[in-house]
């Protein structure tokens, strides 16, 4: 189980390397080639989107200027406002409150992690809170 922001960055590096070697890959192929769990993959995708390094065209991801920033950034803003107002919150509560699918929540968490705006408490499935 991932429990550090540093690990999020290392996972983003794994995805970057695999895309550099293979050019176009689906999320399923990325998971297989990096051995990341689904939530780890989407956190790393959010991290890379914040860095403007990953693009999605149809089903395929590739290294390029991002086209994911608007959606992921907007979701990150929604999560940040909830964390700012409520403090600790569980992933499943974010899904329920925002009516956003879990993978999109994880991508937004990756974005916020890259901005150094969240900290992990306990583990990825429990709580996130705003950076103090």
pLDDT tens per residue, range 53-99: 999 999 999 999 999 999 999 999 999 999 888 888 888 889 999 99
Token pair 């070697």 is found at 21
The structure's pTM equals 0.88
How high is the pLDDT of residue 132? 39
Q: 112: domain range?
A: 1-132
Residue 43 is part of a domain; what is its CATH number? Answer: 1.10.10.10
Nearest residue to 15 (alpha-carbon basis) of 61, 56, 75: 61
Q: How many domains is the chain partitioned into structurally?
A: 1
Nearest residue to 63 (alpha-carbon basis) of 28, 35, 22, 103: 22
The dihedral sign for the CA sequence 26, 33, 42, 99: positive
């Amino acid at each position: 189980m991932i429990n550090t922001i540093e690990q999020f960055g290392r996972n983003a590096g794994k995805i970057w390397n695999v895309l550099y070697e293979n050019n176009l890959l689906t999320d399923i192929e990325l998971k297989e080639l990096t051995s990341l769990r689904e939530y780890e993959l989407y956190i790393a995708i959010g991290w890379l989107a914040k860095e403007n390094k990953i693009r999605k065209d149809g089903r395929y991801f590739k290294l390029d200027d991002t086209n994911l920033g608007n959606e992921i950034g907007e979701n990150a803003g929604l999560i940040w406002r909830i964390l700012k107002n409520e403090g600790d919150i569980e992933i499943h509560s974010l899904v329920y409150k925002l009516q956003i699918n879990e993978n999109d929540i994880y991508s937004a968490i990756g974005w916020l992690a890259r901005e150094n705006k969240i900290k992990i408490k306990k583990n990825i499935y429990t709580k996130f809170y705003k950076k103090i």
